[in-house]
Structure 1
Amino acid sequence: MLPSQGPIEVFVHHNTLHAFEDLPFHEAVKTGLARYGAHPYLPEQEYRQLFQEGRITDEDLQAVLQEALGPQGHKQINGLGTRGQIRLAMLRQPIHVGPDAELRWIVAETDALDRFRPEVPNDLRDRVVAGTRQWLQHEQASLSPALADLAELVSKFGSNYPEWKKASWEAFSLHLLWRICRSGIQSVPHQGAPSRYVRPRDLLLNALGIDVDRDVHDLLIRFCAAYIDQGYSDWEMPCRDKGFYDAFLTLYSQSNWCSDRRLRGLSGELWRLQSSGLSPEASIQESLAELGIANDDREEFVIQTLLSLRGWAGMVWQLETGAGPVVHSIPKGSLLGLLAVQLILERFAIIDVGREATGKRGSASDVLQFARTKLSEPRPLSVERRAFLLFQVAQTLGWQPQQLLALSEIQWQELYDEADGFSAVERRRIYHEAFERKYRREALDAFVNHTNVLNASIAERKPRRPEFQVLTCIDDREESFRRHLEEVHPECETLGAAGFFAVAIYYRGAADSFYKPLCPNVITPEHYVQEDVGYTFEGMHRERAELRRRLGLVSHAFHTRSRTFLGGIFTGIVGSLATVPLVASVLFPHLTARIRKHLGTFVQPPPVTTLQLERYEENPGPENGHIGFTCDEMANVVVRLMQDIGVTSPESFSRLFVVCGHGSSSLNNPHESAYCCGACAGKRGGPNARAFAKMANDWRVRAKVRQAGISIPDDTVFVGAYHNTCDDSVVFFDLDMLPASHHADFETARDAIEEARRRNAHERCRRFVSVPLSISPNEAIRHVEARAQDISQARPEYNHATNALCIVGRRDWSRGLFLDRRAFLTSYDPAQDNDDHSVLARILAAAIPVCAGINLEYYFSRVDHVVYGSGSKLPHNIVSLLGVMDGTASDLRTGLYQQMVEIHEPLRMLFVIESTPEAILSIMQSNPTIGRLCRGGWIHLAVINPKTSTVQVYRNGQFDPYEVSGRYLPEASCSLECYRGSRENLPFYSIAGTVRQQ
């Protein structure tokens, strides 16, 4: 249940609710609400806004309600309407439920009892008013005792009621409805839930208004930051290698006269524990006994205690279990030590609360007993609060007084249970399902209609050899880049694969000190690859490396000495000079970046480097002779990737094949690795693309690949490249190895890529509110370049925001379809697969968990950016070189920050896979992770038959045929025509002129 986020340098997206992944999605998010206090869905008012904007339709609400209620939706509730009608009315009109004081104010001070709600249709208003007039004229004598004060109500509006104006009748009708609802609900019993607090902290907070976590966490946060530090602090913590518990006892058992008064006596207690050799387990048992935690409550107590500081507890657990590479590991048992220390501090904090509350020092159990005597019983919901709920529903459905007066006590109970049972959380669930349903149907309709626009069966199309090919990561940010490239040069072909391109390696660049993994987190690399400087530049490389080392030592020394008394004075005098580059970086980020880049050439490695890629020794490793791959291993990598993307026949290869990795670089961004390639463990995928291109160009590798049935033409040349998704720059590797015969091909491809990146930057800029919609492509590229270098920029790019779709299949299905940068695109050709669907199973084993992990982390960080996300980026500070916290002391913040998800619409991802239901069901059966995500509703799933082009949707454990609604798919001449002048999420379009010629 603790967060599984590792060090922020290797930030990899994952399902935030991984602990509850075995539950169905809606049960899991409600469990998250109960466990973490986190919102399961968007606020109800946001869904209502979407309903008003047409993003959720009445048709969607009715369909979702019908599916949720089933036959029970037609059950009549006391002749006032069916369950479905009552719930639909509560969805169509806002239902206000607030504190008692707020509702009393609304009734007394607003026109809630004088005018119908503005959302109520006129025909319903007229019906209620007419019914009230008829009832008052003919049945006044038969009033129930509860409404015996009707005369007072009539006199309030004037005794001559037959001559009342329309406004008076409206007000009278509402006052009457209110009194009837209040009278009827008085007969409905409602008791508050009894208070039961597992943690003593919750008992003290509710009984005395004192939060002991404040003092406990203050000390614990500081110690955790020092204990797991990865090199930020100058001094090493004593006894750190002995574990969390022993390190804390060693440090705080020393008597200190200036320690916090709340912790008086702590050093003596820690000295007792240390001298007696009491283990963390034994200390925990002592604390549980002193706090009076019953045996049946101990598991829940431990869970709640650790979750009270779950960010730090989660990071301690991640480091203890070795998740993610770190410089300084921590011993096993550290989480147990953290719990033991937290309980010790909690005991002393409780004793201090007792001293403040009673004036004398007692045991923790005495303080807790005192708090129980002060605890008041929960108050049940007031009559007004319950009546106001029915009063609102009565207006929206046009219930008349005589209908409500005829209800018995049992019927009032049934009516209230029905309205109250459709809680705010359940209403939000229905809204959310309807919101997803609309997008899902629009996506599938667009997919099918776009296929029909092609006027040819995709299974029979045999396009001619492309002029050049570009293989990118499946990343949704590459969707627009690929789309613009195909618009600029229709005779090219773009493909998508996981961004490590089957090259799972530990990589060390020429200027790096350590090897770092470049592959998905679920893979442990076996091979090492190193970037070497050409022998001609070896001397220059050594000189620059030495210069970097000396500059690093000087910088470190200056940083350390600045903390001394004299150093601080010197820093204050000289530090004013730092304002010049600081101001320049804010006011002129683009120019400052160019100057910084020019000055950086003096310490950067020489421009000509090569990869040490071929291994001559038997076993791979980081030492010379063991670095790299054997020829057979390189051939296996090439075969796997070519099979995955379905490029296996000679005619499917172009003369120039660009393999383009991606990443992101921006300043003042602790979450930078979250913007890089998730398939490369939060690193940049350029080295993987470069390595693959070098493997595929080797004639010996090609010979072995040919033996596997894949014939790469002799005139095909692979080029590695890297796309920076933040500034939209594209760089190419090893161009000195490019044959002269392919220079013209490369120039054609580079010109097309240059234009595509300008257009891509222009499309991206529409999402930035600070950028005018009238910006030109040239201005857009300059803006994103400056944005990446602006240290004051909280939004360097929006990363995966708005992702909602993943397409697995041939590009022909989606080429020319405007997907608004919301789709992951994975290349797969079922014709190249075997009967066991092993290629598809291999692709989905990575694509579904990775894409679903990205989608779900964005979902949860968006619906609750405080609990599931990391809040606002603005107060973040890096701590321990592992994560961020708010200000100088807070829990370690996990998840995505608010500025990264503010434009995201939380939709579960829809996977559209070119395959058959039988194949997908087989893969779900053999892969538990995929099966769990699909069956639990964490993702939506549809398949498109490669032969018949029919679509089937996975629902309730089986695939059902999808019926196209026949919506018209608008056409556009280019992407600009689709998004021009808009900052919102856009519908699907079919773009003409992007399909390659036969």
Structure 2
Amino acid sequence: MKLIEETTANNVFARAVLEEKVDAIVARADVESLRTKLREEVKLANEVIAGFWPMRTFVHHNPLHSLEYLKFDEAVQRGKQFLNGKGYLPNYMYREYFKSGRIQPRHVDSALEAKVQNEHISIGTRQIGHKEVLHACLTNRISAFADEYPSVSNVNDPDYELIKSLSDRLASVLPVQDASEKLQAVASEDEAALARTVTLSQWCDQVLDTQIVDQITSDLIGRCEPFLDEGYTTWEMPGREKGFFRSWKATLSDEWATCGIDDVGRKVDQLPDDAEYVVIDCLQALAIPQQAWRDYITLHMSALPGWVGYIKWRAKQNNYVWQEAYPIDLFQYLAVSLWYERELVNKYCHQFLGIDGRYPEMISYMKNSSREYFLRRERIAGRLPAAYSAEVDRLSHRKGVTWDDLFNHYWDNANPKIVRASHNKLSKSLCLLASEMKIEPADLLNCSSTDLKKLIDWIKAFPESDHGPVWLRAFEAGYQEQLLGRIAEAKVKNEELAHSKTQVSERPHTQSVYCIDVRSEPFRRHLESLGPNQTYGFAGFFGVLIRHSFWEHEHKTEQYPVIVGPKTEVHEIPRSYLEKMLPMYEHRTSMIHAGHTLLHDLKHNAITTYVMVEAVGLFYTIQMFGKTILPRLYNKASHWLQKKLIPAISTTITVDKPSEAETEEMLKVKYENLIFKVLHDVTGLSRWQIPTHLVDALWQHILNSEAELTSSLIEIAGEAGISKDKLSETISRLQLQYGVEHKEISCQKESILHTGFSLDEQAQTVSTALRIMGLTSNFARLVLICGHGSESDNNPYESALDCGACGGNEGKPNARVFVMMANNPLVRERLAQNGIEIPADTYFVAGQINTTTDEVELFDLEDFPLSHSQDIARLIEYLEEAGRRTSQERCSRFADIENTLSYDEAKSHVIQRSADWSQVRPEWGLSSNTAFVIGRRALTDSLDLRGRVFLHSYDYRYDTESKFLEVLLTAPQVVAQWINMEHYFSTTDYDVYGSGSKIYHNVVGNFGVLAGPWSDLRLGLSWQTVMNGEMPFHEPMRLVSVVEAPRKEIEKLIAKHELLRHYYHNEWVNLVVMEPEEGVLYRYRPTGEWVRISNATSNQLH
């Protein structure tokens, strides 16, 4: 019996152990399933958050780029829902454009068509159409919910009697909502919003008057700022190398009541280090339904879209040095944010409502305590009369029946007045509508209840929030009509454009290629007007995808659009004939760098800052007065002094890819010098006493990664008087102290082999660029490849003025590399074999235009033959004069310049702006961009496009398979669209999508700016970049792409690329095609249909 009992007990124990193991396996499976779901939800949830590149390489981008699979209007609504960002200008601005004639009535009518119903009402003897009512509401701000209308009738209002009579009439026409219906409607609406558009912490703020959201965001800003710092501050957050989440845990472990959470250190210590697990645990603790996880996570991330946007970008940069050192990702951020919310929501819900801070309990509270909930909610929203607000405050700490009594009193006494006020507002709207439409007041009062009700329904169905899309379409239609009309008119004047190839007349004086940037258009226009100068447009990286290493800087720049990657790496190196000057240059540079570092450390030290004022205050005084009073003179003097201290060193770029043998020889030379040095340090032998064949043998030993010293190596060392121990010490020091080992050498070899371009790659790069532009014959003696950059002082946004196609950097390296390729005789031989004959007397020259001063600098002129000296001199004269004229044109657009300046005055002024450290608007940059033209210059060469159009040269005749067109539509057009959308949204809402005013900006962490000392990371463009006083300088319109190519070819590309379908079908980009053979413009509709444009007019462009 005992044996049976023991056996039974063992079986029970074994079953229990087995069940426990099974439960653990199931639990692990559930957790992994939830992890998979969480990762997918986070990936989709962050669509509304734009990635944010560091400010030093500002990248223009569409803030809603990840939502381009949605219709434009839908994406704008998503942005409004989660970011509270406005996607259209305030309606009063559109009305100002309407009053000034920038928006025409016919365009408004056309834009309204989609909303118009074929319905009419009778008022008096008139038939009023739905379209008439919508037009009047749109253009006169007539709305059922306008806040500026009086809440009660004003006896001084000229329409007082009419409003009073209409309000009486409305009381009988409009249905009255009883208390139960109102409470049910409020509860249902808020239940649908909870966890979808409102977080639990926001709910508490709106109902209990807590400040949970502010508490959480303030703490997160304080954690993100020091963790993400990239060398700007002197104090470093401890434990950053562990990652954001674990570092946060470590800093909180010694704290007691962060964010009002008691015993926070103990609670945080109990959290696991797995951020994903903590996120899942918090979502489950808050009881957020799994189907709502995506929206809920989006809401948490959109509380600080700036910091989250930068974290999103950092998390994807696996090779970014700061991310490697201090890892962070969205899961770590969410773990902190959601944990704070779980603790605080639970705390306040228990304190004020006596319920758990969970989603189901909140839903139950809204339903079961609907009167209390309604009063609390209205009180915090500021919609209760003062007496009722005071009573709500008194009852807030009590439970029980008195809430019902207070609500009943409110509903019986206050609500009728609120209803009457609502009727008064609606009556005022009807009065304004009647006045605008010339309706007699008596007819309005006496119309049937059915017609009056329908009129009110029409007004309510077209609130001001729906006006933006209509205004935008009308706004765009006006500009596009003018632009396309002028292009069509120019087309007619060029009869040969569609029917024959361009007839070569005389050889041009110069040919020059500029970035497609809208700022190039005025310069190109003025340059062409000075003589037989041909200009072309090409994306500013010129087809050269490189990572560029400046020889005097440690950092490398990514010289390509962010939507693609580099093909290779190139290095800038001093020219060989300057070898004797390098030691002096490097010495002086290091001394100045050390001085800058010392000053930085002294300024940011808690003690030495006080001594600094006395010690070097005078020098800063000189700088302050110079930059403020005489900025141009000070800038000139400082540049002169810099050149005296550090003479400029002429450089070249390593364009050619080295062979494997050359690579090994380069490494050998590099390491042989090091081996000599270490042998000298270990043995004390001088360089001439160390035999070369010993160094060669040591190099081979390391290269072959041999573990033991070979007898031949020992013998060679012995001949030089070096013992085996000294030899071992030498190898050990090379490996441990200098990292000279097989793996490191192999990595360096691989890196060098990825440097530069092969001959085939060079020929392909040059050939592709020339064929895309149609520059394949009749070459001038000089062909300028001109990148662009900018110059300004005290401007964190300086890189936003540089080349977007070069990743927010200057285009100088790309221009230099392209020119070195194009001047290579071997490359020209390859080009000739492929049908591009470049004359022997044609030379390419690299340059860069400073878009702030309109000055062009030419590079590597020492490589040019004396035979072209006069050509260079003439080119410089052309460029200088074109720059002066461009400066005058640009100055006419600055609001602070009232009178027209002469060429010389304009040139002086723009240079002054570039040097003035108080200037918040050194130039307008890419503001006012509206269109992208892909085609031959003949389409636009006679037009003044006012610096609003991207111009990319393209000749469809040399692109029989449309491969080049495919590249242009999927790369440069994307860059143009990102620039356009960055400016668009920064204008429609410069506080959410833009970065607000520069006046309040402070640089943080060497990667971004804050508004004041403490805020979300500011994204987008500043107010000064897009606004001109009360009205925008940048007129926010979606990009219109005008392409000269056969429609059938474009249709194939749209069918092939989802990106293009998103752009054109979802109305992010307007597409217009110039059919070459017909010479006719066609508009591409979102439905995929082509519509011939026949009514374009050539009015003056604005």
Give yes or no for the alignment of 1:729 onto 2:727: no
Whether the 8 Å CA contact 1:354–1:367 is kept in 2: the answer is no
3-state secondary structure, aligned to 1:679: helix
Give yes or no for the alignment of 1:514 onto 2:640: no
3-state secondary structure, aligned to 2:540: coil
Distance 2:273 2:651 in 1: 57
Whether the 8 Å CA contact 1:830–1:915 is kept in 2: the answer is yes
Using the TM superposition, give the Cα deviation of residue 99 of structure 1 relative to its aligned residue in structure 2, in angstroms: 6.6
CA deviation profile, 1:89-129 (whole Å, cap 9, x unmatched) = 222323256577x5335741652516xxxxxxxxxxxxxxx
Structure with greater Cα Rg: 2
Aligned residues: 902
CA deviation profile, 1:421-467 (whole Å, cap 9, x unmatched) = 11212222212111111111111111111223446546434142212
Distance 1:362 1:863 in 2: 41
Using the TM superposition, give the Cα deviation of residue 802 of structure 1 relative to its aligned residue in structure 2, in angstroms: 0.5
3-state secondary structure, aligned to 2:928: coil
3-state secondary structure, aligned to 1:601: helix
Partner of 1:880: 1005
CA deviation profile, 1:356-401 (whole Å, cap 9, x unmatched) = 869x999789997999665326689733333433333233334446
Partner of 1:709: 835
Give yes or no for the alignment of 1:245 onto 2:228: no
Distance 1:559 1:515 in 2: 23
Distance 1:802 1:951 in 2: 24
Cα gap change, 1:608/1:49 in structure 2, threshold over 3 Å: closer, same or farther? same
Partner of 1:16: 63
Distance 1:526 1:28 in 2: 34
Partner of 2:763: 635
Partner of 1:321: 316
Distance 1:366 1:522 in 2: 44
Q: Which of 270, 273, 294 is equivalent to 2:268?
A: 270
Partner of 1:480: 522
TM-score (structure 2 length as normaliser) = 0.77
CA deviation profile, 1:794-837 (whole Å, cap 9, x unmatched) = 11111110101111110011002010100000001111111x21
The residue type equivalent to 1:599 in the other structure is: L
Distance 2:456 2:918 in 1: 53
Residues 488-527 of structure 1: pairs in structure 2 closer than 5 A: 488-489=530-531, 491-527=532-568
Distance 1:654 1:458 in 2: 25
Distance 1:604 1:843 in 2: 43
Residues 491-890 of structure 1: pairs in structure 2 closer than 5 A: 491-564=532-605, 566-577=607-618, 578-602=620-644, 604=646, 606-617=648-659, 627-649=755-777, 651=778, 653-834=779-960, 836-890=961-1015
Whether the 8 Å CA contact 1:230–1:328 is kept in 2: the answer is no
3-state secondary structure, aligned to 2:1010: strand
3-state secondary structure, aligned to 1:944: strand
Cα gap change, 1:966/1:676 in structure 2, threshold over 3 Å: closer, same or farther? closer
Give yes or no for the alignment of 1:891 onto 2:931: no
Percent of pairs with identical residues: 29
The residue type equivalent to 2:900 in the other structure is: S
Cα gap change, 1:35/1:625 in structure 2, threshold over 3 Å: closer, same or farther? closer
Partner of 1:148: none
Whether the 8 Å CA contact 1:528–1:621 is kept in 2: the answer is no
Partner of 1:200: 200
CA deviation profile, 1:473-514 (whole Å, cap 9, x unmatched) = 01100000000101122x110000011111111111232212
Q: Which of 922, 928, 936 is equivalent to 2:1066?
A: 936
Q: Which of 144, 150, 153 is equivalent to 1:104?
A: 150
Q: Which of 58, 61, 66 is equivalent to 2:108?
A: 61
Consecutive unaligned residues in structure 2, runs of 5 or more = 1-47, 384-417, 664-747, 1028-1032
Whether the 8 Å CA contact 1:469–1:657 is kept in 2: the answer is yes
Cα gap change, 1:76/1:475 in structure 2, threshold over 3 Å: closer, same or farther? same
Partner of 1:912: 1042
Give yes or no for the alignment of 1:922 onto 2:1052: yes
Q: Which of 419, 438, 441 is equivalent to 2:478?
A: 438
Whether the 8 Å CA contact 2:200–2:359 is kept in 1: the answer is no
Instruction: Using the TM superposition, name which of 880-889 and 78-87 deviates more.
Output: 78-87
The residue type equivalent to 1:307 in the other structure is: S
Give yes or no for the alignment of 1:376 onto 2:374: yes
Instruction: Using the TM superposition, name which of 245-254 and 816-825 deviates more.
Output: 245-254
Distance 1:542 1:38 in 2: 55
CA deviation profile, 1:303-343 (whole Å, cap 9, x unmatched) = 21121112111211211111895544366663211111112
Whether the 8 Å CA contact 1:185–1:387 is kept in 2: the answer is no
Partner of 1:160: none
Distance 2:496 2:760 in 1: 41
Distance 1:706 1:306 in 2: 56
Cα gap change, 1:622/1:472 in structure 2, threshold over 3 Å: closer, same or farther? farther
Whether the 8 Å CA contact 1:914–1:946 is kept in 2: the answer is yes
Whether the 8 Å CA contact 1:204–1:368 is kept in 2: the answer is no
Using the TM superposition, give the Cα deviation of residue 964 of structure 1 relative to its aligned residue in structure 2, in angstroms: 3.8
Cα gap change, 1:338/1:497 in structure 2, threshold over 3 Å: closer, same or farther? same
The residue type equivalent to 2:159 in the other structure is: L
The residue type equivalent to 1:478 in the other structure is: S
Distance 2:156 2:286 in 1: 49
Whether the 8 Å CA contact 2:788–2:803 is kept in 1: the answer is yes
Give yes or no for the alignment of 1:185 onto 2:174: yes
Partner of 1:962: 1092
The residue type equivalent to 1:230 in the other structure is: E
The residue type equivalent to 1:44 in the other structure is: N
Distance 2:864 2:152 in 1: 76
Distance 2:984 2:153 in 1: 37
Partner of 2:296: 301
The residue type equivalent to 1:203 in the other structure is: W
Whether the 8 Å CA contact 1:510–1:605 is kept in 2: the answer is no
CA deviation profile, 1:907-962 (whole Å, cap 9, x unmatched) = 11111111121111111112221221011111111111222211111124345343
Cα gap change, 1:439/1:540 in structure 2, threshold over 3 Å: closer, same or farther? same
Distance 1:606 1:375 in 2: 73
3-state secondary structure, aligned to 1:710: coil
Superposed CA RMSD:
2.9
3-state secondary structure, aligned to 1:948: coil
TM-score (structure 1 length as normaliser) = 0.85
Whether the 8 Å CA contact 1:634–1:695 is kept in 2: the answer is yes
The residue type equivalent to 2:490 in the other structure is: H
Using the TM superposition, give the Cα deviation of residue 543 of structure 1 relative to its aligned residue in structure 2, in angstroms: 2.5
Whether the 8 Å CA contact 1:178–1:388 is kept in 2: the answer is no
Distance 1:737 1:183 in 2: 90
Cα gap change, 1:748/1:482 in structure 2, threshold over 3 Å: closer, same or farther? same
3-state secondary structure, aligned to 2:154: helix
Whether the 8 Å CA contact 1:803–1:823 is kept in 2: the answer is yes
Whether the 8 Å CA contact 2:1083–2:1093 is kept in 1: the answer is no
Residues 279-294 of structure 1: pairs in structure 2 closer than 5 A: 279-294=274-289
Whether the 8 Å CA contact 2:927–2:1025 is kept in 1: the answer is yes
Whether the 8 Å CA contact 1:208–1:371 is kept in 2: the answer is no
3-state secondary structure, aligned to 2:941: coil
Partner of 1:344: 339
Partner of 1:51: 98
Whether the 8 Å CA contact 1:458–1:813 is kept in 2: the answer is no
Distance 1:98 1:405 in 2: 21
The residue type equivalent to 1:111 in the other structure is: D
